[in-house]
A and B are shown apart, each in its own frame.
Chain A
Amino acid sequence: MSGGFQTNNPVLKWIEYRLPVFSFVDHAVGSQYPTPKNLSYWWNFGSLAGLALVILMATGIVLAMQYTAHVDYAFDSVERIMRDVNYGWLIRYIHMNGGSFFFIVVYIHVLRGMYYGSYKAPRELLWMLGVVILLLMMATAFMGYVLPWGQMSFWGAKVITNLFSAIPLVGEDIVIWLWGGFSVDNPTLNRFYALHYLMPFVLVGAIVFHIWALHQFGSSNPLGIETKGPQDTIPFHPYYTVKDLYGMGVFLIFFAAAVFFMPNAMGEAINYVEANPLVTPAHIVPEWYFLPYYAILRSVTFDIWFLSAKLIGVILMFGSILILFILPWLDRSPVRSSKFRPIHKQLFWVFVADCILLGWVGANPAEPPYLYIGQAGTVYYFAHFLIILPLLSVMERPRPLPNSISESVLKGGGTAMGATAKPMEKA
C-alpha cells in the first residue's frame, strides 16, 4: 500500500486491501496530492463549478419526476411544480438559478485560466478539455431553457436551430432533421428533454478527464512557475479541502440570495407566457450567459463573396468559443502569469470589458448604434486572440520571475512551514 493512507480500523483495512478506494481518494484530493502553497481564491472556482453541477443534477432529477415533456402539458406541469408540488418552487428556482450560477462560476474559472496562463504547456489538453466542458454546458443549458415551453423557450429554440439553415446545400435538411418535423414542435421538445437529461452525465465524463489531466502536473498557481519540490507545496487535504469548503459557503450565500430573494432577476419575464408559435415576441434574446455570442452572431450584416451574412455570423459565433481550443498556441509567451506580463495584464481586462460590452449589445436590438458597437466589439474579440496575443508573445518584455514559489512566499513575510527545506537549484 502506498505511503499515504494509514488506518487501524479493521473494516477499512479489509476494504482497502481488496479495493484501494481510500488511498485513491487520498491521492486525488487528500494528503497525498501535493498542491502549490500559494493558490489564491481564484483557484476555488473549479470546485465551485463542481458543486454547481452537483446541485443542478440533483435538482434536475427531482424536477424530472414531475415534469411532462409535451407541448400541451410542459408549461402547465412546470406551473404545477411551482404551485402544487411540495417545495416544487424551491427545487425549480434552485435549478433555474443554478444554471446561471454555473456559468458565472465557470466564466470566472476560465478567465482565471486566461489571466494566469494556466493553458500553457504542459496543461494544453487540460485546457482543451475545459473548452469541451464549456461547449457541453452551453448545449445543455440551451436545451434546458426550452423545456418550460414559454415564449422565449420556443422562439429561442427556433432562432438557434434555424441558424443551421445557413449551411449551404444541406442546411434546410439539417434543420428539419434537428426539429424532427417542419417546425419546433413536440418531437423537438422530446428530444431536447432526452438530451438535456443525458448531457450532464457526458459532462461528468469530460470532467473526469479534465481532473485526470489536472493531476498529471497539478494546479498551476498565481506565479505561473512550476513547483520545484516539497517546500513549494502543501497537501491538498486539509489545506485546500477546508479552503474549498469555505469558498463553497460564500458561493452558497450568493446563490441563496438569488434563489430566495430575486429568483426571476436573471430570467426573461416573457417566458412566463406559454409558447405560441403564432405570436413572435418583440425582442428575442437568449439567457444572459449567451448574450456576447448572440451579439457576435448578429454583428454580421453583409455577405462576403458566396458566404451569406447569416453563415458568417454563425461561423463567428461558434468560432468565438472554438478559438479557445488553440489559445495555447496563439499565446507563445514563455511566461504564464499576467503578474509578470505588464501589458497582457491590462489587455486581459480590456478583453473582459469587451465581453461585457458584447453582452450588453446582445441584450439590445440589432440596430444602430448597438449594431456598430457590436461590430467593433466582435472585431476586437477576435483581434485579441489572433493579433494581440501572438504579437505580445514576442513584443512584451516580461518582468523577472521569482526563482521558486517558496522564495516568493517567504519574501511576502511570515514564517514558512518548510523553513528547514534546502533551497532548490535553478531549474
Chain B
Amino acid sequence: MKRVIASVLGAVVIGLGAQGAAAAEGGPELPEYTWSFDGVFGQFDLPAAQRGLQVYREVCAGCHSLRFVAFRDLAALGYNEDQIKAFAAEATVVDGPDDEGEMFERDGRPADRFPSPFPNEKAAAAANNGSAPPDLSLMAKARPHGPNYLRALLTGYADPPEDVEVMEGQSYNPYFPGMRIAMAPPLFEEGVEYQDGTEATVDQMAADVTQFLMWAAEPKLQERKQMGLKVILFLLVLTGILYAVKRKVWADLH
C-alpha cells in the first residue's frame, strides 16, 4: 500500500515537473550546476557568498535594488560588526523629515536596507531603455530553477543567430524568456578584483553572485535544514515507537 501512496505522490511530483518544464519552454535546457546549498545537508559556501556580495556591490547594485536585505543581515555571511558598519556607511540613505520638515541624506546604518539605485521604478525604467531592473532580493526563488537560471543567464550572452533581430538597447540571451533582454552583459573577465585572489572569470563571478542572491532570497536556509534533520530524526524515532506500540496493542487480534 505504501508503494501505491508513493506512486500517487510520485505522480504529483511528475505533474509539478511538467509545470516547471512549461515555464522554461522556448530557450535551451538550463544547465544543471551543483550548488553547495543543494540537498539535505547543503549549506551556503560563505567565501563564495562574500565574493558574490562584492560582485553585487560593484556591478549589480548600479542598477538593481535589494530591498528586503538589511546590512545587519550580512552577519550571517561571516562579517563582523565593524565590517557591517563600514558597508552601511558607504551607502547614502534618505531619511527624515527632520525637525524643520526637511528630508536629509545621511550615511547608512546596519539596520538600513540596501539602498535602491533609483528613486522609483519610472526613473529606473527611464535609465534602462524602458525596462526597470527588477529587485534582486527574491530573484533566486522567483524563477523556475532559480540558481541554475541566474548563472546560465549571466553567462549566456552570445551573438544573436541570423534570424533573431535584436533592437537597440537589447542583448541576445537565449536563457531569457523572449531571448532579448534589456540588461547589457553585466559581467566581464576580471570585472572585479577578488580580495581572496580567486580568478574573476565570468562564470566564477556568476556563480558567486548567484550564491549570494540565493542567500538573500532564502537567508534561513541553513537554519531550516539543520532543524529539519533534527525534526525528521525525532519523527523517525517517535513513529518507530508508535509502530511498536501499535503492533503490541494489536498483537492479541491477529
Contact = CB atoms under 8 A, between A and B. Distances in A.
A283 B22 contact: yes
A399 interface: no
Interface in B209-254: 217, 219-220, 223-225, 227-229, 231-232, 235-236, 238-239, 242-243, 245-246, 249-250, 252-254
Contact-size category for B: 35 or more
A246 B22 contact: no
Contacts of A263: 224
Contact of B12 (A40, A104, A264, A270): A104
B177 interface: yes
B16 A265 contact: yes
Nearest to A252: B235
A124 B144 CA distance: 44
B228 A259 contact: yes
Contacts of B238: 249
Contacts of A364: 18, 22
A297 interface: no
A261 B225 contact: yes
A365 B22 contact: yes
Contact of B138 (A268, A273, A360): A273
Interface stretch (A24-32, A82-90, A301-309): A82-90
B122 to A, nearest CB: 12
Interface in A258-272: 259-261, 263-266, 268-270, 272
Given A40-B1, A238-B249, A360 B18 contact: yes
> Which of B13, B15, B229, B238 has most chain A Cβ within 10 Å?
B15
**Among the interface residues A82, A104, A272, A288, which one has the most CB atoms of the partner chain B within 10 A?**
A272
B8 interface: yes
B158 to A, nearest CB: 22
Contacts of A260: 224-225, 227-229, 231-232
B227 A288 contact: no
A184 interface: no
Contacts of A238: 249
A222 to B, nearest CB: 11
A243 interface: yes
A72 to B, nearest CB: 14
B146 A363 contact: no
Contacts of B19: 268, 285, 288, 363
Nearest to B238: A249
A207 interface: no
Contacts, number: 130
Contacts of B254: 409, 412, 414-416
A79 interface: yes
B75 interface: no
A42 B2 CA distance: 10
From A42, A269, A270, A356, name the one whose CB has the most chain B CB atoms within 10 angstroms: A269
Nearest to B248: A242
Interface string A73-100: 0001001001100000110010000000
Contact of B220 (A82, A245, A273): A82
B56 to A, nearest CB: 17
A225 B154 CA distance: 64
Contact of B219 (A83, A268, A417): A83
Most buried by A among B16, B143, B236, B245: B16
Interface in A390-411: 409
Contacts of B85: none
A260 B235 CA distance: 13
A242 B246 contact: yes
Contacts of B142: 269-270, 272-273
Nearest to B39: A261
Contact of A269 (B18, B146, B231): B146
A201 interface: no
A414 B254 CA distance: 5
Contacts of A90: 224, 227
Given A252-B235, A356-B15, 13 more contacts: A37-B253, A42-B1, A242-B242, A249-B235, A250-B239, A253-B232, A259-B228, A260-B227, A260-B229, A261-B40, A261-B228, A264-B141, A272-B142
6 contacts: A93-B224, A282-B177, A288-B16, A352-B8, A360-B14, A417-B252
